[in-house]
Structure 1
């Protein structure tokens, strides 16, 4: 009877995720809430705990980063990134993804990539490199970047799961594993990606466009430009935000810097992140003087609110389900994951594919991995690599934008779900980062 009940409740959880995914956006949170209702009122399970700490981190980080965006901070970051990419045109398939990755890590969002896409495509083309190569890997690299950022929504979800007893695996411990794993994964993947597709000189479609005059011939002396205005105010706002990120990292590295909690222990990182982001947002308000009324219409704010709502409903549902069947999950899944840890990575990967949300995948699968006894360091490394799964299907906004900005037509969205330009880079980056992450995680365990 208990087994039948577990299967029925699992069906409810999966159905809620599927229905939310079909509508996307805030619908993920709505259907998650419906799942909680069914588990509690129909199956009479004890209600789980909503992810309050994770939500508060997301809200404060989104507020601070939206203040930065409204002050021109992201525009300044884009201008710096564009100049860095343009300086190394011959190595663009490696440099562009690394730059996109690092700036996404610092900003806690992949939105910074959008204005960089035409720069990457233009520099690649005039350097004689097929644009789809750096464009595809740059897009996919921003996915794993969110597993390395102290201020991403996915990290907020993760740290509230691991920075508790008995794991006590803090933000800085996670980053020590995920950051090198992701960088190594990007480097390894770039060697594969630079061999994908025909070279410009051998591609009949590109050559036909050149012949028709729809695109100019490659010109090694052409200089790409970025259509954003970098201002001193934007620079100062971005620097304040980055200093806040560095301060969070410093508190993570050096526990002696933290105040004590009521038990006399160093304060956990969750309230520290929240407080630092409030201070950062306030300083930006004073020096950047953005229009407060414009904050809710910023792209970072909109994306962050959607992420928070999705996180709220789905994480609450997952917590309710897991706590109701903790012993069964531990006994059945534990041995499976311990014997084949890659199954955990596959779980995160598949939820990323289905929901295109790293924070949703985190709150859905990571508790199962922890309950199953997977070491937090190993779990973190594989968790990071699986994030590339959000680009396995050509449905993400940045994928569509990359294809649109590629005037040569080399970046394709395909027609059969797996024949697009991002499929192989996402699979290769997943596999390489998971492997590097697992190895580094075992070294730290």
Structure 2
């Protein structure tokens, strides 16, 4: 009977994830919340713990980042990123992914990628490089960037799981694993991606468009269509990035932190929240953005969707795992002991199914920790698995990249796995996870 009940409850969990994924957006949270109700009222399981700490971090970070966006800070960052990309056109398949990765790490969101897509496509084509190469790897690189950012929603979820007893694996410990692993993964992926597809001069489809006058002949030139940068935008971006730096410094040097009520150094969760509120306030005073525009900002909308999805699904999985912790730990523990990569595969598959890194974090990471996987190794594989959100061609940035590529080389495909992002996503996931696991083992934790 117990096996039947557990199986039925698992069907409820999986069903909520599937239905939420089909509806997408805030529906992930709605279906997750409904699943909690079914487990509690129908199966009489005790309600799990909602991810309150993670939600508060997300809200604080999203508010500060949205203030920066409305003030023009993201536009300024885009101009800087575009300048770097344009400076090294011959190496764009490597430079563009690294630049978009680093700026996504700093901003805590992959939304910074959208204005850069036409720049990457234009620079690549004008210099004879197949646009699909830098575009595809740049898109996928922003996925793993969120595992390296101190101010991403995924990191908020991760910190609240690992920065507790008995692990005490703090934000800076995670970044020390994920950041070098991701950079190495991008570089390794570059050697594969640069061989995908034919060069512009050898591609008959592209050359047919040139011959018909649909495309100009490939030749070096300046990029177009960049957003306008303003002094207030520059100030807002620098204030936000300074806040990120403060968080990193306080993570590195615990002696700089104030004490909590127990006399120990204050944890990073409230520090991130306070610093981000301070950052948002400083931006408000210095840059004077229109506060009424903040709820309409793309960063704000995307952040709220992530928070709602995180709330419902994380609460659902916590309820199920808490009710059957011994069974889950024993079963998954045996799998992880036999093959630790199974944990990475779990995160990867949830990312594929939900296209949400924070949801995958709250769903799979507690299982990996409870199964006894070392936090350092776990963090490394966790970051690499984030590339899974681009395995299917359903993400907005993938669609935008294909639309901005006037050569038609960036394709969404028709068979789910024949699109331009599939190989870069799989290669980046594997290389980053491998490097991350090795770095995690070397630094311990």
Q: TM-score with structure 1 length normalisation?
A: 0.99
Question: Which residue does the alignment assign to 1:127?
Answer: 127
* Structure 2 unaligned blocks of 5 or more: none
- Give the Cα separation in 2 of the matches to 1:385 and 1:267: 29
Question: Which residue does the alignment assign to 1:43?
Answer: 43
| SS at structure 2 position matched to 1:21 | helix
Question: Which residue does the alignment assign to 2:252?
Answer: 253
By how many angstroms is 1:226 displaced?
3.9
Instruction: List aligned pairs for 1:9-408, cutoff 5 A.
Output: 9-220=9-220, 222-408=221-407
Deviations 1:363-385 (A, max 9, x none): 00001101111001000000000
| SS at structure 2 position matched to 1:213 | coil
By how many angstroms is 1:232 displaced?
0.6
Q: How many residue pairs were aligned?
A: 444
- Give the Cα separation in 1 of the matches to 2:119 and 2:137: 14
By how many angstroms is 1:201 displaced?
1.1
Deviations 1:29-59 (A, max 9, x none): 0000011001111111111110000000000
Q: Is the 8 A contact 1:51 1:316 kept in 2?
A: yes
By how many angstroms is 1:241 displaced?
0.1
| SS at structure 1 position matched to 2:438 | helix
- Give the Cα separation in 1 of the matches to 2:337 and 2:369: 11
Deviations 1:178-229 (A, max 9, x none): 0000000000001100000011111100000000001100112x11134200
Instruction: List aligned pairs for 1:425-444, cutoff 5 A.
Output: 425-444=424-443
Deviations 1:143-173 (A, max 9, x none): 0000000000000000000000011000000
- Give the Cα separation in 2 of the matches to 1:330 and 1:86: 50
- Give the Cα separation in 2 of the matches to 1:197 and 1:42: 54
Q: Is the 8 A contact 1:82 1:226 kept in 2?
A: no
- Give the Cα separation in 2 of the matches to 1:339 and 1:312: 32
Q: TM-score with structure 2 length normalisation?
A: 0.99
By how many angstroms is 1:2 displaced?
2.0
- Give the Cα separation in 1 of the matches to 2:202 and 2:215: 16
Deviations 1:117-161 (A, max 9, x none): 000000001111000000000000000000000000000000000
- Give the Cα separation in 2 of the matches to 1:379 and 1:160: 15
By how many angstroms is 1:3 displaced?
2.0
Question: Which residue does the alignment assign to 2:2?
Answer: 2
Q: Is the 8 A contact 1:314 1:364 kept in 2?
A: yes
By how many angstroms is 1:338 displaced?
1.7
Runs of 4+ in 1 over 6 A off after TM superposition: none
- Give the Cα separation in 1 of the matches to 2:5 and 2:184: 44
- Give the Cα separation in 1 of the matches to 2:329 and 2:290: 51
- Give the Cα separation in 1 of the matches to 2:336 and 2:29: 28
Q: Is the 8 A contact 1:68 1:237 kept in 2?
A: yes
- Give the Cα separation in 2 of the matches to 1:330 and 1:360: 20
- Give the Cα separation in 2 of the matches to 1:254 and 1:20: 41
- Give the Cα separation in 1 of the matches to 2:61 and 2:231: 22
- Give the Cα separation in 2 of the matches to 1:102 and 1:225: 22
Q: Is the 8 A contact 1:116 1:226 kept in 2?
A: no
- Give the Cα separation in 1 of the matches to 2:369 and 2:9: 21
Q: Is the 8 A contact 1:172 1:252 kept in 2?
A: yes
- Give the Cα separation in 1 of the matches to 2:294 and 2:133: 35
| SS at structure 2 position matched to 1:37 | helix
Question: Which residue does the alignment assign to 2:413?
Answer: 414
